[in-house]
Amino acid sequence: MNATEQLPGVGDEVTEDGTRAIVTDIRQGVVWLRAPGRDEWPAADPRRLKVTRTRRERIAAGDA
């Protein structure tokens, strides 16, 4: 990860291995995700998560 990249934050929409999810929490450095119809799970590698929309963008779109 370079200096301009950041890990996703709580409320960001991300994709992990093709699954779209929301970052629900970050506990002791572990990023937790949730998707419709699925229990919360820890991200396998937070550096591989791709942010599709930030929390701010989701709020502006009325999705948060």
State the pLDDT at residue 49.
Answer: 95
Phi-psi region of 62 (alpha: psi -120 to 50; beta: other; left: phi over 0): left
For residue range 12-28, list pLDDT tens digits in order: 999 998 999 999 999 99
Measured CA angle at 16 (ends 10, 22), to 5 deg = 30
For 39-52, write each residue's pLDDT tens digit: 999 999 999 999 99
HSE toward the beta carbon, residue 59, CA cutoff 13 A: 6
pTM of the model: 0.85
Q: Using the 8-state DSSP alphabet, how is residue 38 labeled?
A: S
